[in-house]
Structure 1
Amino acid sequence: MALRRRALGLALGLVWGFAVMFSTLWLLFQGSSGEIISQLKYFYLGYTFGYEGAVIGFLWGFVDGFIFGVAVAWLYNYLSMKIYR
């Protein structure tokens, strides 16, 4: 059984994108200074701890999750084909 690369990429992209966005929003609503999560600015171009940063974080998180999901599905399919040939 093969994994669909785009489907897994989309699923993981959405999960990671929403995780970054909701984490940022949750900390904003809690009144946190966001010291730790603001470190994402070193990984995600344009990310800031704020409402606009939550949207930018979602977009970059989606891209990261999508690439990771595609890579995992490709690796799974490749190894599955080699092992269970």
Structure 2
Amino acid sequence: MCKLNAPKFGLSCGILWGLAVLILGLSATYANYGTAVIELLSSVYVGLDITLVGAIVGGIWGFLDGLIGGFIFAWLYNKLI
């Protein structure tokens, strides 16, 4: 089986999740779509709100969360195979 490159996998997860939270925050801000999800995520990500600045802060938190979670997942996967 192939091993995963943990730093690259973490970076790709961070970019993907950070952009997802940013886009969702922007859609909640400007299109009033997904506000319930933003309210749910704001209980975890400090500073995430239905504003432009809140969407950017949420995107940064999402990036960091995805980066750490993806790295841990790939590292653990490599240890178990």
TM-score between both structures, scaled by the size of structure 1: 0.83
Task: Evaluate the alpha carbon distance shift between residue 73 and residue 36 of structure 1 in structure 2; reply closer, same or farther with a 3 A threshold.
Answer: closer
The superposition leaves residues 6-52 of structure 1 with CA deviations (integer Å, 9 ceiling, x where unpaired) of 10000000000000000111122213482431232210112211100
**1:56 aligns to what?**
57
Task: Evaluate the alpha carbon distance shift between residue 33 and residue 8 of structure 1 in structure 2; reply closer, same or farther with a 3 A threshold.
Answer: closer
What letter matches 1:47 in structure 2?
L
Q: For the Cα contact (< 8 Å) 2:28–2:50, is it kept in 1?
A: no
The residue correspondences of 1:17-56 to structure 2 (distance < 5 A) are 17-32=18-33, 34-56=35-57
TM-score between both structures, scaled by the size of structure 2: 0.87
After superposition, the CA RMSD in angstroms is 1.6
Aligned identity (percent) is 36
The superposition leaves residues 27-83 of structure 1 with CA deviations (integer Å, 9 ceiling, x where unpaired) of 222134824312322101122111001110111000110111111111110111xxx
Gapped regions of structure 2 (runs ≥ 5): none
**2:68 aligns to what?**
67
Which protein is bigger by CA-based radius of gyration?
A: 1
Matched length? 80
Equivalents in 2 of 1:36, 1:79: separation in Å?
Answer: 34
Gapped regions of structure 1 (runs ≥ 5): 81-85
